[in-house]
Structure 1
């Protein structure tokens, strides 16, 4: 007769479906982002439906953590953060929080685009096209081939 292994004993071979060990803990921002993905607002859902298919070959992420903040949408290639502002952003404390957030993003090399939730509801196609166009623009000006040569020390 075979008995089950005692506590702490048993097969130590790798298993396909996990095993023991310490449960994985997430950074608070990641856990919050995952939660926000499950509870997106209607304008966010509508915009995500347009941006998720990599329009123009540009990949977007939704509810992406950046520092202690979570961007509604983010394009890594363009370092572009897109925020959908609904009625919740109209209050004085929310505007102050948004200014601090935008400053953090700019200081860390991100461009921030804010779009109104009303504009998304009114014409989601135009808003999505505008966002894709901004993501397609390079962050830095690339001089044309027939323009003046770069200054000494610049390539």
Structure 2
């Protein structure tokens, strides 16, 4: 049984693609045409979780976090999610909405370096 894109999250993933946050939309526009040299998927399911963005070729999850992620209960959920993903060989990188909105070039540059490093491994 595959843990990737489980059928039970299909409707939720579709809804999330339609209702992306402003920061997610901006980052998606920057990444969608193989800007990083690899294909990026959005609202991708892994196990019980839906990742904001995922790069299958290098097993990298990209999360764009709003202010709700400052709450302790959400941080605990994020930690559990990150542990699950790490155990399944997926590295997670998180950016705050403000980083994407105010410094997109730096975010894309950091992602480009990570992808390049992971491709060389």
- TM-score, structure 2 length as denominator? 0.90
CA apart distance, 1:139 = 6.7
- Alignment partner for residue 92 of structure 1, among 54, 72, 85? 72
Q: What is the match of residue 58 of structure 1?
A: 38
Q: What is the match of residue 9 of structure 1?
A: none
Instruction: Say which one has the larger Rg.
Output: 1
Q: What is the match of residue 134 of structure 1?
A: 114
1:48 aligns to what SS in structure 2?
helix
Q: What is the match of residue 28 of structure 1?
A: 8
RMSD: 1.5
Q: Which of the pair is proportionally richer in strand?
A: 2
Distance 1:56 1:98, change over 3 A: closer
Q: What is the match of residue 71 of structure 1?
A: 51
Q: What is the match of residue 6 of structure 1?
A: none
CA apart distance, 1:61 = 0.5
C-alpha distance in structure 2 between counterparts of 1:57 and 1:45, whole Å: 19
Q: What is the match of residue 11 of structure 1?
A: none
**Cα distance per residue 1:62-117 (max 9 Å; x no partner):** 11001110000000000000000110111111000000000000000000001111
Distance 1:57 1:95, change over 3 A: same
- The gaps in structure 2 that reach 5 residues or longer are 1-5
Total equivalences in the alignment: 116
Higher relative contact order (CA 8 A, sep 6+): 2
- The gaps in structure 1 that reach 5 residues or longer are 1-25, 142-155
C-alpha distance in structure 2 between counterparts of 1:106 and 1:139, whole Å: 18
2:100 aligns to what SS in structure 1?
helix
Q: Which of the pair is proportionally richer in helix?
A: 2
Q: What is the match of residue 8 of structure 1?
A: none
